């Protein structure tokens, strides 16, 4: 089967590239993935997968960082003009752009879930000939939307895997769920899918990413370097006044935000692990002679563990509240995103390591873990729920040569990584009967 599997994957290599470049050209940011979701749903439906979509797989009140209704409507119309398949759009209207496709083999076995993300970043793509997507005509046509993290490749990998699993369905066991997640950027989308119960029946879970500083040809079977994080918007509201004539009548929202910013960056480090805090945006004021009555802060906390992040976050809340009291202003906090820390399951990592070493000749190196710069990933919500229910979970990184770092306007990746990823994931699914969770 392994030779035939390699041949089958090479036969869809052109499709993988075509899907990836199409998604790249029509990049869609979080909760705006209307065109992408309709194309994915249609492809999975034609393959014969059982689909759940939209509000079936996304709990509305658990979404974070959701754009305004006006913005959602405008982006849905934009997607229609750019080729969204309108027959599928009602499932995703309002930004409920998630899909779960299930392949039930009808044979006993565990339920495996593989998660890929679909969203782009809120940034503009480089329009220079040295940038391959621009030179070859598939750079993003949407302002302030760019696939600068490889999620276009992830979505293509998910579709490629769906094709291969369906072709070899008779040789598989149990159930396989393919989760196409919106709004990973800003860690906004996974929690709402978890709260909708999409992994409550899952025994084994895999999330994937390409690149992330891992060399081309290397597979990391159990990345364990994601910080827990909380992302909030803080709005201070005071009282405006003339700064010369009646300054005593004002209540200064800008000063509250400034005090808070300094206080937040002075939060003590934790003895049990690394932590981070950042005020990335501070907007306030309308004129030099007006006491500012409004200020907006965009803040994030991070911690090596969930407990450390909670420590930093609660310290931050105290500081935000204290700064408001100092200036006599009101404030409100909006939760915009969050993720957890989640160590991979050792037995599951060991199994994937063994399978990759034995069967995936395209890989030049297979490692169980790798130290790398710490970020955050909301796939950890899926991982934690699966583990809490007695299952096992891990996060795979497929190394890829990059033209620039993630979240850079010139980001691009070697597309050969997509066939390697599909083969690896299909091999894991094929050999599940040999996995011993004990």
pLDDT tens-digit map of 216-269:
999 999 998 899 999 999 999 999 999 999 999 999 999 999 999 999 999 999
Residues 188-196, mean pLDDT to the nearest whole number: 97
Q: What is the mean pLDDT of residues 376-394?
A: 97
Q: Which tokens in the block code for residue 301?
A: 């906390």
Look at residue 4 in the predicted model and tell me its pLDDT.
Answer: 86
Q: How confident is the model at residue 436 (pLDDT cuts 50, 70, 90)?
A: confident
Q: Report CA 278 to chain centroid distance, whole Å.
A: 20
Cα-Cα end-to-end distance for the chain:
27
From CA 33, how far away is CA 79, in angstroms rounded? 8
Q: What is the pLDDT of residue 325?
A: 98
Two tokens, residue 95 = 């930004």
pLDDT band at 375 (very low <50, low <70, confident <90, very high): confident
As a whole number of Å, the CA-based R_g of the chain is 23
Helix axes 2-11, 151-167, angle to 10 degrees: 130
In this structure, the number of other CB atoms found within 10 A of the CB of residue 135 comes to 11
226 is written with which tokens? 């994601």
Supply the pLDDT for residue 199.
Answer: 98
Strands 392-398 and 204-210: parallel
Average pLDDT over residues 377-391: 97
- pLDDT over 90, % of the chain: 96
Residue that the structure tokens 């998630």 belong to: 98
Q: How distant, in Å, are the alpha carbons of 233, 236, 280, 303, 317 from that of 309?
A: 17, 23, 17, 4, 12
Mean pLDDT score, 21-28: 98
> pLDDT, tens digit, for every residue of 118-140?
999 999 999 999 999 999 999 99
- pLDDT category at 1 given cuts 50, 70, 90 is low
Which pLDDT value is given to residue 373? 65
pLDDT averaged over every residue in the chain = 96
Q: How much is the pTM?
A: 0.95
Report how far apart, in Å, the C-alpha atoms of 399 and of each of 14, 202, 215, 375 are. 20, 27, 5, 16
């Amino acid at each position: 089967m392994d030779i035939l599997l390699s041949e089958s994957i090479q036969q869809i290599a052109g499709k993988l590239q075509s899907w990836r470049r199409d998604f790249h050209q029509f990049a869609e940011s979080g909760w705006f993935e209307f065109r992408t979701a309709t194309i994915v749903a249609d492809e999975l439906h034609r393959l014969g997968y059982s689909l759940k979509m939209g509000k079936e797989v996304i709990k509305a009140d658990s979404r974070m960082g959701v754009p305004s209704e006006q913005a959602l409507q405008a982006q849905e119309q934009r997607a229609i003009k750019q080729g969204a398949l309108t027959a599928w759009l009602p499932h995703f209207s309002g930004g409920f752009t998630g899909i779960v496709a299930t392949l039930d083999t009808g044979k006993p076995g565990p339920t495996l879930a593989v998660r890929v993300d679909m969203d782009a970043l809120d940034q503009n793509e480089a329009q220079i000939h040295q940038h391959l997507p621009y030179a070859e005509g598939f750079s993003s046509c949407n302002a302030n939307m760019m696939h600068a993290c490889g999620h276009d490749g992830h979505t293509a990998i998910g579709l490629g895997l769906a094709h291969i699993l369906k072709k070899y369905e008779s040789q598989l066991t149990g159930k396989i769920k393919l989760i196409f997640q919106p709004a990973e950027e800003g860690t906004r989308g996974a929690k709402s899918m978890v709260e909708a119960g999409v992994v409550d029946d899952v025994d084994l879970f895999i999330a994937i990413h390409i690149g992330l500083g891992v060399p081309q040809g290397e597979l990391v079977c159990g990345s364990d370097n994601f910080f827990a994080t909380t992302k909030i918007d803080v709005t201070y509201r005071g009282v405006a006044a003339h700064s010369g004539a009646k300054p005593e009548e004002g209540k200064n929202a800008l000063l509250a935000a400034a005090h808070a910013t300094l206080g937040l960056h002075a939060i003590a480090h934790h003895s049990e692990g690394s932590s981070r805090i950042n005020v990335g945006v501070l907007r306030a004021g309308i004129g030099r002679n007006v006491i500012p009555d409004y200020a907006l802060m965009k803040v994030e906390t991070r911690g090596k563990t969930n407990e450390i992040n909670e420590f930093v976050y609660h310290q931050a809340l105290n500081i935000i509240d204290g700064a408001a009291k100092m200036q006599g202003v009101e404030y409100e906090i909006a939760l915009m995103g969050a993720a957890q820390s989640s160590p991979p399951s050792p037995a599951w990592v060991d199994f994937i390591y063994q399978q990759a070493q034995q069967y995936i000749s395209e890989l030049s190196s297979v490692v169980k873990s790798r130290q790398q710069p710490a970020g955050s990933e909301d796939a950890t919500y899926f991982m934690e729920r699966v583990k809490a229910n007695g299952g096992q979970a891990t996060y795979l990184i497929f190394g890829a040569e990059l033209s620039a770092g993630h979240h850079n306007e010139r980001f691009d990746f070697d597309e050969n990584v997509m066939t390697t990823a599909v083969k690896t994931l299909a091999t894991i699914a094929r050999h599940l009967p040999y996995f011993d969770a004990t």
